[in-house]
Amino acid sequence: MSSIFTKIINGEIPSYKVAENEKFYAFLDINPNAKGHTLVVPKEEVNKLFDLDEESYNQLMIFSRKIAIAIEKVIPCERIGLSVIGLEVPHVHVHLIPLQKMEDIQFIKKVKLLPEEFEKTAKAIAANL
C-alpha cells in the first residue's frame, strides 16, 4: 500500500505544496511545530533515511538546503532546524523547522494555523526559492 506521502505526491491527498522536482516534493507539515514547518520527501518510497542510496541522500540534502534558505527568508526565526524522525510516516522525510528556541524542534508544542495561513506561507516560501 502507498504511504500517505506517496498519495500526497500523486495528488490523491491535498497538500500545501512548496516545491517539486523530478525526485523530491516539499510541502507544509499539517501539524506544525512552528509556522513554516516544511517536509521534504523523496518521491521514491523508501522507509528509512539511511536506506537511501548515497546519491539520493546527497540530493535530498541539497534540495532541503534550498528550501531551508527560502523558509528563512520568509519566516522570522533564529535559524532553520533539520530533523529526521519517521516514526509516524515510514516514508523518508526531512523536517525543516523555523526555530526561536530549543522546544521548537521537540515535537511537543504545536501551532494551529488557518488554511489561509498555510496557503500564504507555502506560496511565500515558493516565491523565494
Catalytic residue among 37, 91, 93, 95: 93
Distance between CA atoms of residues 16 and 14, nearest Å? 7
Active site residue 93: yes
Total residues at interface with ligand AMP (CB under 6 A): 12
Closest distance of CB 35 from ligand AMP, Å: 14
49 is a contact residue toward ligand AMP (CB under 6 A): no
> Which residues, numbered 11-40, are part of the site for ligand AMP (CB under 6 A)?
13, 15, 29-31, 39
Give the helix/strand (H/E) hosting 73: helix 54-74
> Which residues, numbered 65-94, are part of the site for ligand AMP (CB under 6 A)?
85-89
Residue 77's contacts (CB-CB under 8 Å, 6 or more residues apart) are: 34, 36, 98, 99, 100
Cβ distance 33 to 111 under 8 Å? yes
Extract the C-alpha cell encoding 107.
515535537
Residues engaged in binding ligand AMP (CB under 6 A): 4, 13, 15, 29-31, 39, 85-89
Catalytic site residues? 93
